Amino acid sequence: MLFGLLMALTAAVCFGVAMVLQALGAQRHSPAAEGSGLLGTVRAMVNLPFAAGLLLDCFGFVAQLIALRSLPLYVVQAALAGALAVTAVLGAALLKIRLGRAEWLGVAGVCTGLAILGATAGAEGHKHPSEAFHWMLLAAVVVIAVVGGFVWKLREPVRAAVMGTLCGLGFGVVGLAVRVLPAVHGTDLWPLLQEPATYALLAGGAVSFVFMTEGVRGGKVTTATAAMVLGETALPAVLGVVLLGDRTHHGMLPLAVLGFAVAVAGALALARFGEVSPVSAVEDPAPPAAGPAPAAKQPSEPVNAVKHTVN
């Protein structure tokens, strides 16, 4: 149990740092300059910060797999919510994003609510859904990909919120797929190759990765991440309880519901006030506002400058 918790927290740190590094790389190639299609997304991935983020994603994914095989889905997904706090703090420092009071309250709400969900989770369930559920996971990835294609060209900040939500649902499919994978004995991988959940895991991770890249390209890193965390936590947690047998601790259900409500409120706050732009973009309009004052005191200098330019 303790090792599983350590792996879940390690995954959260890796994902949080990777998100900021990928945003640093993706913003070097804005959708306006490179196009908003898939080719523009691929171009946004070809740089050192993005590659470093991708490497951290790989480490985090391995840690997540280990945690999912030893902990309830509640605990793992709630621990991964810690990536939101890491992303927000590093985003403010490295991306020069100015988070307002509402964003910080939203971050606190999401992290606190999901932490409560994790604390109320009980033992890992041992139910085994039918084979149809395994195929439904693969079909869900297809649906997520199709919906993402339709909403690809939405405007910010709605685009970041939708892409982040789809990404979160995709990662939720990954978590559910890991839980239903058959055990591997030695080097015999044939059971995995025959398992539709294996392909749901791989496809869900790939689709979610692309959507997360698109979600952060517009600079709305915290908004996209909040939507992702909510998407990958709420529905998978419910399915884990209903289909996999995960439970809360005895008498903890009301507290778990409260935690979910706090998480939703925090995510909505981030989605509503998620206009997180680079500091330079916010401060650029300031000089023109201050410009007329010096001109009124010394009219000769700007007039002469204009005359010189015209001549």
Domain ranges for the chain, please list them.
2-277
d(CA 97, CA 228): 19
d(CA 11, CA 67): 9
CA 271 to chain centre: 13
pLDDT surpassing 50 at residue 306:
no
* Bridge partners (DSSP) listed for residue 61: none
How does residue 141 score in pLDDT terms, banded at 50, 70 and 90?
very high
Amino acid in the structure at residue 217? R
Mean per-residue pLDDT over the chain, rounded: 76
How does residue 60 score in pLDDT terms, banded at 50, 70 and 90?
very high
Selected residue with higher pLDDT from 2 and 170? 170
pLDDT surpassing 60 at residue 195:
yes
Burial class (CB in 10 A: 0-12, 13-18, 19+), 272: middle
What average pLDDT does range 273-300 have in this prediction?
A: 44
What average pLDDT does range 163-184 have in this prediction?
A: 89
Specify the residue for token string 């979610």: 208
pLDDT surpassing 70 at residue 34:
no
Specify the residue for token string 């395994």: 134
- Dihedral sign for Cα atoms in the order 137, 138, 143, 145: positive
Contacts with 198 (C-beta within 8 Å, 6 or more apart), sequence order: 177, 181, 192
d(CA 223, CA 107): 10
What is the pTM (predicted TM-score) of this model? 0.71
How does residue 303 score in pLDDT terms, banded at 50, 70 and 90?
very low
Burial pattern 279-290, b for ≥16 Cβ within 10 A else e, equals eeeeeeeeeeee
Q: What is the pLDDT of residues 93-112, one digit of tens each?
A: 776 777 778 778 877 887 78
pLDDT surpassing 80 at residue 59:
yes
| Per-residue confidence (pLDDT) for residue 24, from 0 to 100 | 76
| Per-residue confidence (pLDDT) for residue 207, from 0 to 100 | 92
Q: What percent of the chain has pLDDT over 90?
A: 14
pLDDT surpassing 70 at residue 30:
no
Cα-flanking dihedrals φ and ψ of residue 246, to 5°? -65, 145
C-alpha distances (whole Å) from 112 to each of 88, 162, 178 are: 15, 23, 26
64-73, 79-88, 193-202, 286-295: which has the highest mean pLDDT? Answer: 193-202
What average pLDDT does range 155-164 have in this prediction?
A: 81
Among 149, 175, 269, 156, CA closest to 231: 175
